[in-house]
């Protein structure tokens, strides 16, 4: 039997249950639980001592950006046009240049940034122009058509329609 003098606590199992009142047994159980909780808190402190609790002041936090939506298309050219559309939508639309100081891009630049290679970018630009010419017969090039637009809405719509066209052709 371990005594209070040896450990500082008594176990409720060390004393005959019939010798103590209900209040005394509850007090002993409480004392035993307090001891177990102290040991558990110390174990957590010891096991987590190696984890840094403060971030260094030199670290910079990057903004959490939403994950891009997966492409609804299974063909490479349609996927490229879909990604280029998302790039224009997220980076911003540029009307009279390839890109601007704020990072906005024109349709051709968006395609080039998302393409795996120059050939794929060229194919996507040709398909986009073909789709634009169905609605705007006087469009000579993608950049000239883009410069005539007053908002990004027709540009985004043209990307959607070109992606559908590429998908229907299995491109």
Higher pLDDT, 105 or 66: 105
Please provide the average confidence, as pLDDT, over all residues in the chain: 85
Torsion of CA 104, 109, 110, 116, to 10 degrees: -150
pLDDT at 120 over 60: yes
From the list 74, 75, 162, 80, the residue with the least C-alpha distance to 113 is 80
Q: Where are the domains of the chain?
A: 4-47, 76-168
pLDDT at 7 over 70: no
Q: Under 8 Å CB-to-CB from 112, ≥6 apart: which residues?
A: 121
User: pLDDT digits over 130-145, tens only?
Assistant: 999 999 999 999 999 9
From the list 88, 89, 111, 92, the residue with the least C-alpha distance to 101 is 92
Tokens of 107: 């349709």
Q: What pTM does this model have?
A: 0.61
pLDDT at 163 over 80: yes
What pLDDT sits at residue 23? 86
User: pLDDT digits over 13-62, tens only?
Assistant: 555 556 888 888 888 898 898 889 888 888 888 887 777 666 555 556 66
- Could you give the CA distance from residue 151 to residue 109 in angstroms, rounded to a whole number? 17
């Amino acid at each position: 039997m371990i005594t209070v003098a040896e450990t500082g606590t008594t176990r409720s199992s060390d004393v005959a249950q019939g010798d103590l009142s209900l209040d005394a047994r509850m007090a002993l159980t409480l004392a035993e639980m307090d001891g177990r909780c102290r040991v558990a808190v110390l174990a957590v402190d010891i096991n987590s001592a190696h984890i840094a609790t403060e971030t260094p002041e030199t670290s910079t936090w990057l903004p959490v950006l939403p994950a891009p939506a997966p492409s609804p298309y299974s063909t490479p050219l349609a996927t490229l046009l879909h990604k280029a559309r998302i790039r224009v939508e997220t980076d911003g639309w540029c009307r009279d240049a390839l890109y601007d100081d704020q990072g906005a891009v024109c349709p051709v630049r968006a395609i080039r940034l998302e393409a795996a290679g120059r050939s794929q970018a060229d194919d996507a630009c040709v398909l986009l122009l073909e789709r634009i010419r169905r609605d705007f017969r006087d469009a000579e090039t993608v950049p000239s058509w883009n410069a005539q637009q007053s908002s990004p809405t027709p540009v985004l719509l043209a990307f959607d329609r070109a992606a559908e066209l590429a998908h229907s052709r299995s491109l």
